[in-house]
Structure 1
């Protein structure tokens, strides 16, 4: 059974359409459809029912999906075991997002290189949750990602995530804002404020909307940007207030003030920083990377909270 066709089937079943599976895997929709057709021909049964709204599993498809997850995971474990036994795991490809690339990953990779001078390292940029499909496909070995409150996504087949640390979401206001002298504010008190955030699909915006909805209002976002440096500049200039992760807080704090946020949604308003790896037996390098990242995150949080 061709593993490429099997992965196309698994992603189509998981995401509900050939188009979504194609986007996740980096193929075209016709190519994914052809993969499924070849698989169905090989097994001599229909695996997915095609419809105007996407695809759904047949009974044989459900049986295959249950076993395909295990098969793909076992295949990856076998590849890792063989490479480790042959001493070939001398490279590590890590995917990450901007604030983690700035604060966490360099130190963690630096410690790895110090411990393993011959280790070949590579860093790839992904905006969460991008990168997880590439991880499942073996294009990278680990991905540092995040999950904001209210944001929902599922890890692809063969990928598991572990929390590194909670990254508090803090309120940024101009230094001359009436709230600037406070250390904490209830989000319900911000219903008349103008916000700076990302687009409606941005995780920051989704988290802000969810927390605001819990307080009975919809935030007025007049300025859209996903760049936290630009956000800080807009806040300094008095255009609005913003919710910013502590890890992404600017080093130049002139003209801005920081407040913790109390929400009705959860006791600690924070995004979770995650390390995603493939399921199965993790290599010693991956385990070492996870320890280094956790320590780097804890150190960064201590430094930012004391500044």
Structure 2
């Protein structure tokens, strides 16, 4: 059914005049007449009866009018639902403890009133997340996706580099170091449970291990962050890696230590994936915020070769 014809019918019903409806819709009276005639042919009844004073609804027209109004209201609601800026920007932040979630939260704090939803997709890898963006499940996702795996229709920007830190208990040999180099971790047991094969973080830690001769242990069940913190606190040899912007909590008596890595500084390259040509104003504002107010990539940053270059700040 022609939506413009429905709008024209409702306009004539409200004004009682073909010319008045034409003026309201910004078309000619002839166009109004053609639309009404086409609508009446489509449904097979006469909706409007012309009189010397204009037009009036037929009995069928009176029955049809409330349905036409409901159809037009539904169309308007559907258009608003997908119109840029008329719905919340949905951003997949991977995990609410790690840097992307914190970056989106800082953006929201600096842009009060922004209509925004931070979500965590149940997707195992970056390729699946990119597909979810392409399908419109979310507007954007923070992932580490090699350039040659970015699907057509998706734009990728490396907008958030997260420096890694060593997290150890008080008895670890490196517990009191102000910073350590990645190569200094060779021979130490680094435990990161829960790394799933065929994910971008598995590829990242594999590249990190190969670059600096590290032994990263992903064996054993992942019982959650609290169990990992307990194990670190009780061990004189166990360590793990976390992002500098990640928010982990542990009991005060655990006395865990976060030690920066430098020389070079390994960074996890979070890439923002979004649909090419997406004009949502909150997405534009988020990208601008990350370029200008987001944490800067360290001068000695190391990232896998497949990560591509970080986005250039404006100006």
Asked whether the two chains share a fold, i.e. TM above 0.5, the reply is yes
Q: Distance in 1 between matches of 2:118 and 2:206?
A: 32
Q: 1:80-124: CA deviations, max 9, x gaps?
A: xxx69x966311222221124642323434555x345xx4x4333
Q: Distance in 2 between matches of 1:282 and 1:167?
A: 27
In the alignment, does 2:236 pair up with 1:241? no
Give unmatched runs, 5+ long, in structure 2.
1-78, 299-315
Q: 1:176-187 residue pairs with structure 2 within 5 A? A: 176-187=171-182
Cα distance, 1:213 vs structure 2 = 2.2
Counterpart for residue 278 of structure 1: 275
Counterpart for residue 259 of structure 2: 259
Alpha-carbon contact 1:163-1:273 (below 8 Å) kept? yes
Cα distance, 1:281 vs structure 2 = 5.4
Cα distance, 1:249 vs structure 2 = 4.5
Answer with 285-294 or 167-176: which moved more.
285-294
Q: Distance in 2 between matches of 1:215 and 1:94?
A: 33
Q: 1:126-275 residue pairs with structure 2 within 5 A? A: 126=121, 128-129=125-126, 130-143=128-141, 145-147=142-144, 154-197=149-192, 198-199=194-195, 201=197, 203-216=200-213, 218-223=215-220, 225=222, 227-238=224-235, 240-252=238-250, 254-262=254-262, 267-275=264-272
Cα distance, 1:141 vs structure 2 = 1.7
Give the TM-score, by structure 1 length: 0.55
| 2:288 equivalent among 291, 298, 307 | 291
Cα distance, 1:206 vs structure 2 = 3.9
Compare CA radii of gyration and give the structure with the larger one.
2
Q: Distance in 1 between matches of 2:107 and 2:83?
A: 22
In the alignment, does 2:89 pair up with 1:90? no
Give the TM-score, by structure 2 length: 0.54
Alpha-carbon contact 1:141-1:278 (below 8 Å) kept? yes
Give unmatched runs, 5+ long, in structure 1.
1-82, 302-307
Q: Distance in 2 between matches of 1:189 and 1:165?
A: 26
Q: 1:51-66 residue pairs with structure 2 within 5 A? A: none
Distance 1:250 1:294, change over 3 A: farther
Task: Classify the secondary structure of the residue corresponding to 2:257.
Answer: strand
Cα distance, 1:258 vs structure 2 = 2.2
Task: Classify the secondary structure of the residue corresponding to 2:295.
Answer: helix
Alpha-carbon contact 1:146-1:271 (below 8 Å) kept? no
